[in-house]
Every structure is written in C-alpha cells, then in structure tokens.
Structure 1
Amino acid sequence: MSVVWTIFKREFASFFATPVAYIFILIFLVMSGVFTFMFGGFYERGQADLLSFFNFHPWLYLFLVPAIAMRTWSEERKTGSIELLMTLPVNTMQIVLGKFFAAWAILGLCLMLTGGLWLSVNFLGDPDNGIIAAAYIGSWLMSGAFLAVGQCMSATTRNQVVAFILAAVFSFMLVLAGSAIITTLFQSWASNAVLDTISALSFLSHFENMAKGVLSLEDVLFYVLSICAWLYASYLIISQKKAN
C-alpha cells in the first residue's frame, strides 16, 4: 500500500506542477455553473434541491474526464518515462492504482469546490441534505468509472488525442447503453436477456437513482465493479506492452 501511496503523491503533484489541474478545475466549475443556472433553471424551478446541478454530470464527465485521463499512460509512453517506471521494483497494478487514485482525487476536489451550491440551497430553502450527500457520492463514483475507462484507453496508445477520442466514444456508449436509441438498434435481433444486460451497463440509469438520493447497494456495486474491471483491463494492456 505504501507503494501505491508514493505513486499517488507523485502523480497528484504532477497535475499541479503544470497548469493542467488548474485549468481542468476551472473548466469544471464554469461548466457546472453554466449547466446549472442557464440550462438547468436552478432558480426557475423554485425547489430547494440540486437536481439541476447533478442531472448534467454524466454529460459533463463524458468530455472532461477523458481530458484528464488521456495523459495518464499516453504521456508516459510518449516521453519514454514508462520504461523507467516499469524497471522499478513495483507491481504494475500498484502503478495503475496509484495513477487512478491521483486523478480520482482531482475529480473529488472538483466536486468539493462546488460546495458553495450546497450552502446556497440551504440558505435559500430547506433541502434534504441526505439526498444531496447521496448525489455527491454517486457523482464521485460515476466519475471514477469514467476515469477508469479513460485510463484504459490511454494505456492503448501514446497519442493523447487518440486516447481522448477513444475514451469519449466508449464513455458515450456506456452512457447511452440503456437509452431507447441503443435498445432500438438491438431489439430486432437480440433477446430480452441481452437487452437487459446492455441496459444494465448504462452509467446514466444507475446515476439517475443516486441523483434522487437513492443510494442502493446495486448502483454502488455497479460503479465499483466497473472501476475494477476497467483498471484490470489497463493492467493487462500495460503488462502485455511491458512483456513486449
């Protein structure tokens, strides 16, 4: 665990060694405000909740998370530092976890900095803070799933732009997995079991429950298992490239 912590600190510090983290946080806060107040009708709804804030998170993460994940492995491969990293007496999975937790902490920091909205809602009305807390937890878990997808795509190429596009495409498919568009494409030939399986993979449908304050074990496990699966895929890809 100490190795993971060491890699975590190295990666977390590297985000702030360049303008990357600052720009990402700024864009996240600005876009969150735009979606909440301009498109979500925060004041017009007349309700003391943050649904207008959380409803846009899947779409916000769809483009922002791949942007922070694309450098995770692509940059290491492009600069050649991955060869040095792989020669260290550490397990590949420890490196994968250290990198993931560092980027996930940045996403957690972004969410923490939106706490002003939570305070505003409490000042303007009497919201159910349990629902808001559950939505924050759900949003962070969902961001971790998006991040794991992005890191896996980053492990496949040294080109950051390609890594971004791949992550955005795969994430988009996972967001829409349970939508009518995808269901229509498969219903002509797929069985109900296949359709149910595809729908169950939707990041959007699992988060919708959490945004409403329903923090069920099924939804939490979905995101945890999704993170584990994509991180393990990253581990396999990096191990294969290391062997070659």
Structure 2
Amino acid sequence: MSDAPVRKPSGGTRRGHARRGGTRPVTGRISAVAAITRRELAAYFQSPVAYVAAVVFLVASGSLFFSTFFLFDRAEMRQFFATLPFLLALLMPALAMRLIAEERRRGTWEVLVTLPVGTTGVLLAKFLALWITGTALLIPTLFFGISVSSLGSLDPGPVVGGYIGAVLLVGAYGAVGIFASAFSRTETVALVVGLVITLALVIMEGFLVLAPAPLVPILQFLGTTYHFAGFTRGVLDSRSLVYFFSVIALFLGLADYRLARER
C-alpha cells in the first residue's frame, strides 16, 4: 500500500500569509500615530495657553476685519486675508512651543520615542494635531464671509482660495514652530525662535527694494506672503503648493534630525 502524496502549500498561500503579516507593523504604526494625535488634541483642549492664543487670534482678526470692512465699504475679504499671514505667524509658534520643550521638561519625551513609531512618528502625530487645531481656529472666521455676503455679492473664488492658502499657512508655520521647539530647551526660547522665523517669512517681501536685483526673485519666492497672495486671488498655483509642502517637509525633517541625534 503506497503512501498518499503530501500536498505542499502553494507559493501563493505563503505569499498571502506574508502579505497579511507584513501589513501588521504598518497598521500598528498608523494606529500609534493616530493615538498620539488624539492625545495631543486632547492636551490642547486642556491647555489655558491654547485658549488664550485662540481668543487673542479671533479677537484680533475680527477687529481688523470689521475695521477695514467698514472703512472700505466693499463686499470682499481681501483686507482680512492681507493680515492673516501676520496673525498666523504669531499664533502657530505660540501653539507649538510646548510640543517638544514641555515633554523634555516633564521627562516624558524619552518615553514617547520608545514607541514603535520612533521619533519621526511622534513628530508627525504632534504636527497633525497642531495642524488640525490651527485649522479649527479658522472655522469661526467663516462668519466674516457670511457677514460680507449678506451685504453684497461676494466672489467665492478668492474666498475659497484664501482659506485653502490659510490652511497651508497653518501647516507651514506649525512646522516652523515644531522645529523651534525641537531645538529649544524651554518653551519661552521655542516661542522666540519660532516667531523670528515665521515673521521673517512674512516680512521678507517687504525688503525686496533693498535687495540686489539678482536676489529679488529668490527672496520673493522664499516668502510666504507671495505664495499666499495667489490663493487670495482664487489662483491655485502648483508652484505655491510645492512651496508650502516643501517648507513643512524641511522644518519637520530638521526637527527629526535634531531629535534623532539626541537619542
């Protein structure tokens, strides 16, 4: 009596198991990043500094909007968007200053970076929470557009483009704030460093008249107001999209490099 042939598992089955097993580390990292993001979002709602910064931002933006609106008596939001880069340059470093510096002060940063996501994952989670928080603070300003549209015909193109640009500004200045917090030992120093960089990006275009002619287009491209102005005209320029995401990647990358060297 001969033995029955033994069927070997097919290569496809082995590959299927490998694929399923290979996705577990990826999904685990995504879940860990999401958990840290939720933790940071909850921390913002418990932080008095975040509430103070939010109130100051909304009061300042509302005051500037309505003062210029009644001055020019036009159904448009151009003046509001003109002041937004400056206001966000002040807001985002204030929201970001505690993200790394506070963890160091409490001694919890070493615990965070031992998670499977590593330094990069922790930074990404903190950045996402910061970006979401900053974007959420823009929502009440939609009331300005509603007020304007009730008094006259409002062109939706520049408004939609302006808010898209504002979200990108929040991301860019937020990345700068995280970079400053990563390079600073205290929250105060992180705030000062962040403000210096973000305000430099805002006012850079104002110094073009003093720059040599060959440097003018370069300095203009490096400033955030130049790219944001295109969005407020309702123009979605791919070069400006690349610029904002490059700023985000650059400053998060520098922060990650700095923190990785400390481990």
Q: TM-score, normalised on structure 1?
A: 0.90
The higher relative CO (CA closer than 8 Å, separation ≥ 6) is in 1
User: How far apart in 1 are the matches of 2:90 and 2:162?
Assistant: 20
Partners of 2:158 and 2:233 within 8 A in 1 = yes
The structure having more radius of gyration, on CA atoms, is: 2
User: How far apart in 1 are the matches of 2:49 and 2:128?
Assistant: 17
User: How far apart in 2 are the matches of 1:162 and 1:105?
Assistant: 24
Aligned residue in 2 for 1:237: 258
Aligned residue in 1 for 2:35: 6
Aligned residue in 2 for 1:80: 107
RMSD: 1.5
The gaps in structure 2 that reach 5 residues or longer are 1-29
Aligned residue in 2 for 1:67: 94
Q: Is 1:122 equivalent to 2:143 in the alignment?
A: no
Secondary structure of 2:72 counterpart: coil
User: How far apart in 1 are the matches of 2:220 and 2:47?
Assistant: 39
User: How far apart in 2 are the matches of 1:167 and 1:23?
Assistant: 18
Q: CA deviation digits over 1:222-242, x for unaligned, max 9?
A: 111111111111111111112
Partners of 1:149 and 1:170 within 8 A in 2 = yes
Amino acid at match of 1:224: F
> Structure 1 residue aligned with 2:204, among 177, 184, 197?
177
Partners of 1:21 and 1:106 within 8 A in 2 = no
Q: TM-score, normalised on structure 2?
A: 0.84
Q: CA deviation digits over 1:192-228, x for unaligned, max 9?
A: 1x44322211011111121222221111211111111
User: How far apart in 1 are the matches of 2:81 and 2:216?
Assistant: 27
Secondary structure of 1:157 counterpart: coil
Partners of 1:176 and 1:182 within 8 A in 2 = no
Partners of 2:96 and 2:181 within 8 A in 1 = yes
User: How far apart in 1 are the matches of 2:93 and 2:124?
Assistant: 17
Partners of 1:86 and 1:92 within 8 A in 2 = yes
Q: Is 1:212 equivalent to 2:233 in the alignment?
A: yes
> Structure 2 residue aligned with 1:27, among 43, 56, 79?
56
User: How far apart in 2 are the matches of 1:165 and 1:82?
Assistant: 21
Amino acid at match of 1:46: D
Displacement of 1:18 in angstroms is 2.5
More helix by share: 2
Amino acid at match of 1:93: T
Q: Which stretch shifts more, 75-84 or 207-216?
A: 207-216
The gaps in structure 1 that reach 5 residues or longer are none
Partners of 1:66 and 1:168 within 8 A in 2 = yes
User: How far apart in 1 are the matches of 2:152 and 2:258?
Assistant: 50
> Structure 1 residue aligned with 2:119, among 81, 89, 92?
92
Partners of 2:65 and 2:144 within 8 A in 1 = no
> Structure 2 residue aligned with 1:15, among 29, 35, 44?
44
Q: Is 1:56 equivalent to 2:83 in the alignment?
A: yes
User: How far apart in 1 are the matches of 2:32 and 2:252?
Assistant: 17
Q: Which stretch shifts more, 195-204 or 145-154?
A: 195-204
Amino acid at match of 1:17: Q
Partners of 2:94 and 2:191 within 8 A in 1 = yes
The total of aligned residue pairs comes to: 234
Q: Is 1:162 equivalent to 2:189 in the alignment?
A: yes
